[in-house]
Amino acid sequence: MSSQTLLLGAAFPSPALALAPSRSRSRRLRIRAQVEPSDKSVEIMRKFSEQYARKSGTYFCMDKGVTAVVIKGLAEHKDSIGAPLCPCRHYDDKAAEVGQGFWNCPCVPMRERKECHCMLFLTPENDFAGKEQAITLEEIKEATSKL
């Protein structure tokens, strides 16, 4: 939240601040394109992913980094637009997509056909499926801190 307000503050620099240091400071702040999701949202999406993998009989990727990035992406969407839209897709109108819910995780292709192109939920036959249906918060933080 605080980084969001900093970004907003940087977008409208006060005309009185003509000094070079403050302008370079605001330029640096604007480079941040994404806000970090809250720990609470990451935890919610982590629990959801574990539960849904068990329920659907699917497994996480053998590379847990993939799982971590997707869970974080879901949490980011949940925080920014109110619903965990699939983070691996591009949307022209996010509000319309949220309202309709096709891409709200678990998306329709996953619910009906067990097709998850994010590679979050993999059927056992999939070459990349690991053997686990669990991931800890530490694993997520470690995998995504390297980005």
Partner 1 sequence: MYNAVRRADEVHRKVAVTSDVLSSSEAAAAAAKIGRWIRVKAPLRVYYVAKAPDLDLGGMEGTIKQYLGVWKGKRTSANLPFKVEFLIRIDGQDSPVKFFSHFREDEFEYVPSSDGPN
Active-site residue numbers?
Answer: 88
Q: Which CB sits closer to partner 1, 113 or 131? A: 113
Q: Which CB sits closer to partner 1, 112 or 138? A: 112
Choose, by CB under 8 A, the member of 3, 4, 8, 27 that binds partner 1.
27
Residue 56 CA to residue 113 CA, distance in Å, equals: 11
- Give ∠ CA 57-62-67 in degrees, rounded to 5: 75
Choose, by CB under 8 A, the member of 14, 92, 125, 138 that binds partner 1.
92
Q: Which two tokens stand for residue 98?
A: 């949220």
Q: In b/e form, how buried is each residue of 20-50, taking b as 16+ CB within 10 angstroms? A: eeeeeebeeeeeeeeeebeeebbebbbebbb
Q: In whole angstroms, how close is the CB of 121 to partner 1 at the nearest point?
A: 13
Q: Which two tokens stand for residue 70?
A: 């997707």
Choose, by CB under 8 A, the member of 3, 30, 34, 39 that binds partner 1.
30
Q: Which amino acid is at 43?
A: E
Question: Could you say whether residue 130 binds partner 1 (CB under 8 A)?
Answer: no
Q: Which CB sits closer to partner 1, 33 or 147? A: 33
Residue 56 CA to residue 59 CA, distance in Å, equals: 9
Q: Which CB sits closer to partner 1, 109 or 130? A: 109
Question: Could you say whether residue 33 binds partner 1 (CB under 8 A)?
Answer: no
Choose, by CB under 8 A, the member of 83, 114, 130, 137 that binds partner 1.
114
Through-space distance between the first and last CA atoms of the chain, rounded to whole angstroms:
21
Q: How distant is the alpha carbon of residue 85 from its chain centre?
A: 9
Q: Which amino acid is at 110?
A: M
Residues at the contact surface with partner 1, assessed by CB under 8 A: 11, 13, 27, 30, 89-93, 96-97, 99-100, 102-103, 108-109, 111-114
